[in-house]
Structure 1
């Protein structure tokens, strides 16, 4: 589990930098709620974030992004849900193995809460390695969100699991949630396997 700034040098999970993009100055929820009340486009943007002038979230939990679960969605079967809501649940992932049928189409979806502050440019990244060699990297933009009592859910694009004899085996996946400020909200490692059956 993690909640820190990341060092992009020599990091497999560093997010892609967009040339010319500069992150704006950080503002509190209260400042954003009062900002340019007469600007119609800004008003619509603030409404899309659900800003109402308050920073929802329990005072005893300083996290700004609370990732609750990551799920694997495959047509015709129930979702495989990975609990990420507590440090103990994340620790338990070290001993679990998520198996994906080779060649099957699937997609990931994430459920998370935002509290205390606006999160800009939240991304999910993962690097997949087999026998220590990087075989895949995924970067999925989740978007910008304001604090809210109810969790958000985001579905990723459909992917196809690798297939064939060479694709079978165990993979180590390192995952991270990071925002535009390069703040890591959660990082963990898990094990996946490609096999003939699901």
Structure 2
């Protein structure tokens, strides 16, 4: 399915969806937007500096009472010359699983994710997915998304171009398990979806 394609016979989803780690790396302290605003309550220059980095004031963050800090809204399949195929991730997992993508064999495509960060800065956000066919892992993707401040704006990340495999042996249905995880190990969203590789759209 992609440039990261690899064969594996293990069926351990938990192991498959673990992000890579760097030895000796220590996660920094996490602070909520309220804590950051308390830190600079009497420092106008610090407040302006934070805003220049894209860290909004608490009144602009739009955090509300949503307990989920990162809310993943959509996953899209982009193919040049075709309308985007959109997977609405605000639906239940059952509905998401029932509506697979169709990918024409051999095409170049890119995945795009759209998400909100609501309550606090998120550090080292990653997207991971594992693709399986008939229970066997055929692909794993791990991509750094980055660090983001809480904001009412919708963030968008477009991943690198991938190549769909071609040939009769690759046609059929594939199951995918995806995860949004940050550098302190917090899983913000995990979901299952599927796609079909066909001879044509």
If the length of structure 2 is used for normalisation, what is the TM-score? 0.83
The answer as to 2:163 corresponding to 1:160 is yes
Q: Is contact 1:49-1:144 (8 Å) kept? A: no
**Mapped partners of 1:120, 1:9: distance in 2:** 24
Matched position secondary structure for 2:27: coil
Q: Show the 5 A alignment for 1:86-101.
A: 86=91, 88=92, 90-101=93-104
Q: How many residues align?
A: 184
Q: Partner of 1:29 in structure 2?
A: 33
Q: Is contact 2:30-2:121 (8 Å) kept? A: no
- TM-superposed CA distance for 1:19, in Å, is 2.4
Indicate which of 116, 124, 129 corresponds to 1:113. 116
Matched position secondary structure for 1:134: strand
Q: CA RMSD of the aligned region, Å?
A: 2.3
Cα deviations by residue, 1:54-79 (Å, 9 ceiling, x for unpaired)? 553222x2110111100000000100
Provide structure 2 residue ranges, at least 5 long, that are not aligned to the other structure.
1-11
**Mapped partners of 1:142, 1:10: distance in 2:** 21
**Mapped partners of 1:130, 1:117: distance in 2:** 37
Indicate which of 74, 78, 88 corresponds to 1:83. 88
Cα deviations by residue, 1:35-65 (Å, 9 ceiling, x for unpaired)? 6x7999xx47x63343324553222x21101
The answer as to 2:60 corresponding to 1:57 is no
**Mapped partners of 2:153, 2:165: distance in 1:** 35
Indicate which of 168, 190, 193 corresponds to 1:190. 193
- TM-superposed CA distance for 1:101, in Å, is 0.6
